[in-house]
Amino acid sequence: MLRDDHAAHWMGLDVLVDEPGHAVVSMRVRRDMLNGFAITHGGFVFALADTAFAIACNEDDAITVASGADISFLASTVEGQVLTADARRRVRRGRTGVYDVTVTDETGDVVAEFRGRSHTTRRPPLD
C-alpha cells in the first residue's frame, strides 16, 4: 500500500512500526507544512494520523479504507518538530473496525487525538 502512496512519500513519513493492528509513523514538520500563523497546518497532522491508521487497519490481504475519522487538535507545533502517530486497533468486527491514533511531538507531549473507523471493501481473489 505505501509503495504507491505518493502523499506519504512527499510528506517524508517514516514508518517505525508496522504490525497487525498497530502502526507508528513519524514526520518532521517542514516550512511548506505551516499555515499562515507559522504553525503546522492541521491537514498535515490529520494526514500523518490517517496514514498510521491506514497501516494499522490494513493488516492482511483485504483492502481496508476509512469510513470516517475525527481529530481533536490539542497543541500546536512548528517547523522542525518531529511528530509521531501511534495507531492502535480498538476493535475489529466483520468488515468494520475502530482505531485510535495519538499524535505526539518529540518531547512526548500529545498534540492530537484521532479516531478512525475502517471498512473492508473486498478481499483478494482466492487462489
| Phi, psi dihedral angles at 30 (to 5 degrees) | -100, 165
| Distance separating alpha carbons of residues 15 and 73, to the nearest angstrom | 22
Q: Which residue has the cell 471493501?
A: 121
Neighbours of 13 (CB within 10 A): 22
The structure's pTM equals: 0.93
May I ask the CATH class of domain 2-122?
alpha beta
Question: Where are the chain's structural domains?
Answer: 2-122
What is the structure's pLDDT at 79? 98
Contact call for residues 13 and 30 (beta carbons, < 8 A): no
Per-residue confidence (pLDDT) for residue 61, from 0 to 100: 84
Encode the chain (127 residues) as per-residue pLDDT tens digits: 778 889 999 999 999 999 999 999 999 999 999 999 999 999 999 999 999 999 999 988 889 999 999 999 999 999 999 999 999 999 999 999 999 999 999 999 999 999 999 999 876 655 5
Find all residues with CB under 8 Å of 94, minimum gap 6, and list them: 120
3-state class of 57 per DSSP? helix
- Looking at residue 16, its pLDDT comes to 97
Listed in sequence order, the residues at least 6 apart from 103 whose beta carbon sits closer than 8 Å to its beta carbon are 45, 48, 49, 83, 84, 85, 86, 110, 111, 112, 113, 114
Cβ atoms of 27 and 35 within 8 Å: the answer is: no
- Residue 125 is predicted with a pLDDT of 55
